Amino acid sequence: MANHKSALKRHRQSLRRRTANRVVRSRVGTVVRRLREAIAAGDSDTAKRELVAAESILGKAAGKGVLHRSTASRQTSRLARQVARISSN
């Protein structure tokens, strides 16, 4: 455990950031899961709606530094391709 005043503060900050990041990561996972379920069901209307939400939340997570921007971009791209595939069928 930290002994210096500055190290104790850094520890407190890291705990706060960890909980905030977990909230964001959990939200990303939930939205992506809902989108993948819509894709698996072949429901293109729901999938398109969920894709908009997923793109927004992935972008916000990347902006906050919770996800790397390339990771968010890659996930968005792959999900958009999957939605386009079921929309064309």
Range of the domain at 61: 5-88
Q: Write out the two tokens for 87.
A: 């929309």
Band of pLDDT at residue 19, cut at 50, 70 and 90: very high
Q: How many domains does the chain have?
A: 1
Q: Is the separation of the CB atoms in 28 and 58 below 8 Å?
A: yes
Where are the alpha helices (H) located in 1-68, listed in sequence order?
5-41, 44-63
Band of pLDDT at residue 89, cut at 50, 70 and 90: confident
Domain CATH code at residue 11: 1.20.58.110
On average, the pLDDT of the chain sits at: 95
pTM above 0.75, yes or no: yes
